[in-house]
Amino acid sequence: MKDQFGRAIDYMRVSVTDRCNLRCVYCMPEEGVPAVPHQHILTFDEIARLCCIGVELGITKIKLTGGEPLVRRGLPDLLGLLKSIPGIEQVTLTTNGILLKEQINELVYKGMDSVNISIDTLNPERYREVTRGGRVEMALEGLDAAAAFPELRVKVNCVPLKDAEEEEYIQLASLAREGKADVRFIEMMPIGMGKVFSGKSGDEICTVLEKHFGEPKRYTEPLGNGPAVYVQFPGFRKRVGFISAVSHQFCDGCNRVRLTSEGYLKPCLQYGSGTDLRVLLRSGTSDEEIREEMRRIMYEKPACHQFAAENMAEQSVNDKTGEKSTGGMALESKGMSRIGG
Ligand code: SAM
Ligand code: SF4
C-alpha cells in the first residue's frame, strides 16, 4: 500500500526479542535493558498472523531482527513459518553473528534469503571494547559459515565510531575485496544510547577508502531493500555501501515499518507513534480490524525523521510527562535493541 506521501510500504522489520548476548556501547547499557516479561513477547504464531495480514497491505519482505534474534529459541522455525506465507517473497536476518555458525545450516534450509552480520571492527581488542566483551573470532566464524553458501547474499554492517582508526575501515572493506560479503558503513543515529556517541559520516569513510583503494565506481544495480548507496573499488569482488541516514536523509524513498518484539507497530524509527497490536491480537480482534489498524498506522507514516533537530536539541519537553517532541510529534524514548534496529 502507499502511505499519505505516496511511498510504497512493502518491508516490515520484525524484532523477535529485546535481549542480546552483546552490549554494544552505542546500543545497550552495560547492565542490559530491563527484561520484558516472556508473556509480553509475541509468539511465533502471533508474528506469523501479523505478517499474513501485512501481506494484504502489500508487505512482501520481512527482516528478522532484535536485540539479537539468534538468542530466541527456535528462530529458524519462525523463519520457515514466515517463508511459507503466500505473498512473502523474502525473509532476511540481521545478527551480530555470534551464534550464526551453529544455526546457519538450519536457517538456510528454512529458506533464509540473505543475512546481515554486524561487525564494527576486525580488531579483537577494539571489538571487545565496543561490544563490551564480545569475541570477534566468533562473529567471523559466523561470517565464514554464511559465506560458504554461494547462493546466500551476505552483508557486513559497521557503525563507525568517531574514535576508530582508519585501518579498521580498511580492514573491514577488505572483506568486500576478498569477496566474502558486501560491506556497509552505517551512520550513527541519535536513537537510544546513539544520542551520546558520535560516529563518522559515509563521506568521511569513503574518502579514507578511496585514498587507500583508489577511485570507486558507483554501483547502480538494485541490491537489497534499503537505502544503501553502493560503490565498487578497483579489484574488489563485492561492493562497499553507505547508509547515511543523518548526513543524506533518504526518507522520501522509505519503504518500511517496524514491529517490536512486544507487538508495537512503528511507522518511523525516530517517533514514539504507532499502535499496540498485541492488545488487539489477544482480545479476539478479527483479522479485518487488525488490518485496518495496521493500514491506518502505515498510511500515517511521518514524512521524515528529524535527526538534525535531535542533535541540535530543537525539541520541546512536556513539563508534566517529560516526553520530548519535535515538530509536535513525540520522540521515541526506547533504544535500538528494543525497537528492532
Ligand atoms: N543484534 C543484531 C545486530 O547487531 O545486527 C540486530 C539488532 S541491532 C539493533 C541492528 C543494527 O542496528 C546493528 O547493525 C547495530 O550496529 C545498529 N545500531 C544500533 N544502534 C544504532 C544507532 N544508534 N545508530 C545506527 N545503527 C545502530
Ligand atoms: Fe546487541 Fe545488536 Fe545492539 Fe550490539 S547492536 S547490543 S549486538 S542488539
Predicted confidence (pLDDT) per residue in 50-72, tens digit: 999 999 999 999 999 999 999 99
What digits encode the pLDDT tens for the residues 260-270? 999 999 999 88
Task: Report which secondary-structure segment, H or E, holds 310.
Answer: helix 307-311
Residue nearest atom 25 in ligand 1 by C-alpha distance: 188
Q: Which of 13, 23, 191 to mutate to test the pocket of ligand 2 (most atoms within 8 A of CB)?
A: 23
Q: Which of 94, 117, 260 to mutate to test the pocket of ligand 1 (most atoms within 8 A of CB)?
A: 94
What is the model's pTM?
A: 0.93
- d(CA 261, CA 258) in angstroms, rounded, equals 10
User: What separation in angstroms does the CA of 337 have from each of 95, 165, 262?
Assistant: 12, 26, 12
| Atom of ligand 1 lying closest to residue 339 CA | 9
Q: Which of 19, 65, 68 to mutate to test the pocket of ligand 2 (most atoms within 8 A of CB)?
A: 68
Cell of 260: 517490536
Q: Is 20 in the pocket of ligand 1 (CB under 6 A)?
A: yes
What digits encode the pLDDT tens for the residues 72-98? 999 999 999 999 999 999 999 999 999
Residue nearest atom 23 in ligand 1 by C-alpha distance: 194
Q: Is 67 in the pocket of ligand 2 (CB under 6 A)?
A: yes
CB burial of 272-293 (b: ≥16 within 10 Å; e: otherwise) equals: bbbbebbebbeeeeeeeebbeb
Taking residue 125's Cβ as centre, other Cβ atoms within 10 Å add up to 9
* pLDDT band for position 3 (cuts 50, 70, 90): very high
Task: Note the ligand closest to the C-alpha atom of 69.
Answer: 1
